[in-house]
Amino acid sequence: MVDAKFLKPDTLALHAGQHPDPVTGARAVPIYQTTSYVFRDVDHAASLFNLEVGGHIYSRISNPTVAVFEERVAALEEGSGALGVSSGQAALHIAIATLMGAGGHIVASTSLYGGTRNMLGLTLPRFGITATFVNPRDHDGFRRAIKPETRLVLGETVGNPGGEVLDIPAIAEIAHAAKLPLMIDNTFASPVLCRPLTLGADIVFHSATKFIGGHGVAIGGVIVESGRFDWEGSGKFLTLTEPYAGYHGIDFAEEFGPHAFIMRARTEGVRDFGCCMAPQTAFYLLQGLETLPLRMARHVENARKVIAFLEANPAVERIASPDLPDHPDHALAQRLLPKGTGSIFSFDIKGGREAGRRFIERLRLFSHLANVGDAKSLVIHPASTTHAQLDAAALREAGIGEGMIRLSVGLEDADDLLDDLGQALRAATKA
């Protein structure tokens, strides 16, 4: 018996995309803090500009430090290539702008990060791109929402605040039947807990700001392509299958095959929209990637301890985590995310908006801020912050209770986290 002994994810998290610097021997990934790269000669310059040869021209389009980050994420996500950009929002925007122009339509899950919802529902319509939102559990709804002008189906592996898990294989099948790609925001799961491209998705993106970095020091985003979507056979993606004047009539699918999407996203998307990742950012995010497998295991372990503690606490009304058997997506989560569903979940505190506010104010270890996926534990009370403009009815519609608290459980000693939560819950419900 012979076997393909590919390097495994924990190894790739440390090594993929990098060889020790051949000139200096530097073991760490050097920060190539440069805007531009000297051409070998005039012909080399022209060849680089015309995509005849590989290499770097200008750091808006590519940079060696960023390239290590990109290749490493591609490796971890099982993609044919990746593109690093300035934020998760930039990743979403570049992916959409690469696939469609005015007139395009997106079918998206309702369980989306608020910023995604804003871009799709409010901003992109000004540019002629519209979206229909469908409950992630309503598979037939996805099928029905697809129109002739639809160009993308979009969802999140694990949504928030409800912890909805998208049935990626089923939704991929629906998208593919309509000759459309499925794109997944895998921020909350990270490639350690779920690799959507192996489940049928065609594009993955991340807010690398979150678990990938893990340290909360850098904003970044990344897009990964599977290399398997048949753009030519679909016939709906002229950006990838028709000559593009930007490079003398290049046809990306014909010439780049499994890299068609990422090549277009890089050579048109970030080239023109300019939302590149800084080399310093890539360096920070690479520090995060090195320990991502270890951190995710600890995030999951700590989150489970916190959930068990909250379940037993009389001040807690309801916990929305697919890790729990009473969550509607529990069985699906066990199938798609067997190692755990991450460490971001929400719960309702008895006493509504007021109790929620008091709870947050009494926490000592959990930081009250607008972020998730940090090594440090974080908390937010949506009804008084991100969703403060909504009244009780509108909150209900968004699936957010007035007393709902969202936690992002970090890497601290779990006992300290439980002590902190316990004292804050007591204080919040005493008054």
Partner 1 sequence: MKLTVHGRGVTATTGGAEFDPGKPAIVFLHGAGFDRTVWRLQTRWFAHHGRSVLAVDFPGHGWSEGPALDSIAALADWTAALIDAAGLERAALVGHSMGALVAVETAARFADKVRALGLCGVAAEMPVHPEMLESAKANTPKVEELITFWGIGNALHKGGMVSPGLWLRRESLAVLSGNRPGVIHTDLAACHAYKDAIQRAAAIKCPTVLVLGDGDLMTPAAKAKPLAAAIGGARSVVIPGAGHFMIVERPDEALEALRGCV
Ligand X SMILES: Cc1ncc(COP(=O)(O)O)c(C=O)c1O
Among ligand X, partner 1, none, what binds residue 81 when CB lies within 5 to 8 Å by partner kind? Answer: partner 1
* Shortest distance, position 34 Cβ to ligand X, whole Å: 24
Among residues 187, 190, 313, 408, which is the contact residue for ligand X, using CB under 6 A?
A: 187
Closest CA to 286 of 88, 59, 108, 71: 71
For residues 204 and 156, what is the distance between their CA atoms, to the nearest angstrom?
9
* Shortest distance, position 152 Cβ to partner 1, whole Å: 20
Burial of residue 5 (CB within 10 Å: 0-12, 13-18, 19+) is exposed
Query: What x-and-dash track marks residues 44-83 binding ligand X by CB under 6 A?
Result: ----------------------------------------
Rounded to a whole number of angstroms, the CA Rg of the chain reads: 22
Q: Helix-strand-coil percent breakdown of the chain, rounded to 5?
A: 45, 15, 40
Tokens matching residue 18: 């990098």
Among partner 1, ligand X, none, what binds residue 219 when CB lies within 5 to 8 Å by partner kind? Answer: ligand X
Q: What is the largest CA-CA distance in the chain?
A: 76
Q: Which stretch binds partner 1 (CB under 8 A): 5-13, 174-182, 369-377, 420-428?
A: 5-13
* Shortest distance, position 366 Cβ to ligand X, whole Å: 17
**Cβ count near 205 (within 10 Å):** 28
Among residues 16, 107, 171, 219, which is the contact residue for ligand X, using CB under 6 A?
A: 219
* Shortest distance, position 355 Cβ to ligand X, whole Å: 25
Q: Which residue has the tokens 């570049």?
A: 94
Among ligand X, partner 1, none, what binds residue 313 when CB lies within 5 to 8 Å by partner kind? Answer: none
Query: What x-and-dash track marks residues 163-202 binding partner 1 by CB under 8 A?
Result: ----------------------------------------
Nearer to ligand X, 51 or 369 (CB): 369
For residues 8 and 171, what is the distance between their CA atoms, to the nearest angstrom?
28
Is residue 207 involved in binding ligand X (CB under 6 A)? yes
Nearer to partner 1, 68 or 383 (CB): 68
Q: Which stretch binds partner 1 (CB under 8 A): 104-112, 224-232, 288-296, 401-409?
A: 224-232
Q: Tell me the backbone φ, ψ of residue 151, rounded to 5 degrees.
A: -125, -5
Among residues 30, 115, 352, 422, which is the contact residue for ligand X, using CB under 6 A?
A: 115
For residues 379 and 406, what is the distance between their CA atoms, to the nearest angstrom?
6
Is residue 59 involved in binding partner 1 (CB under 8 A)? no
Tokens matching residue 138: 């309503």
For residues 169 and 336, what is the distance between their CA atoms, to the nearest angstrom?
9
- DSSP strands (E only) in 18-149: 81-85, 105-109, 130-134
Is residue 420 involved in binding ligand X (CB under 6 A)? no
240-279 binders of partner 1 (CB under 8 A): 247-251, 254-259, 262, 266
Residue with smallest beta-carbon separation from ligand X: 88
Closest CA to 157 of 143, 172, 144, 146: 172
Nearer to ligand X, 59 or 209 (CB): 209
Q: Which residue has the tokens 């499925």?
A: 182
* Shortest distance, position 285 Cβ to ligand X, whole Å: 11
Among ligand X, partner 1, none, what binds residue 120 when CB lies within 5 to 8 Å by partner kind? Answer: none
Q: Residues near 320 by Cβ (< 8 Å), separated by ≥ 6?
A: 161, 162, 163, 327, 345, 346, 347
Among ligand X, partner 1, none, what binds residue 115 when CB lies within 5 to 8 Å by partner kind? Answer: ligand X
First-to-last alpha carbon distance for the chain, in angstroms, is: 68
Three-class SS string for 236-269?
A: CCHHHHCCEHHHCCECHHHHHHHHHHHHHHHHHH
Is residue 342 involved in binding ligand X (CB under 6 A)? no
Query: What x-and-dash track marks residues 67-86 binding partner 1 by CB under 8 A?
Result: x--xxx-xx--xxxxxxx--
Residues that bind ligand X (CB under 6 A): 87-89, 113, 115-116, 156, 185, 187-188, 207, 209, 219, 221, 372
Residues that bind partner 1 (CB under 8 A): 1-2, 4-7, 12, 15-19, 46-47, 50-56, 62-64, 66-67, 70-72, 74-75, 78-84, 226-228, 230, 232, 247-251, 254-259, 262, 266
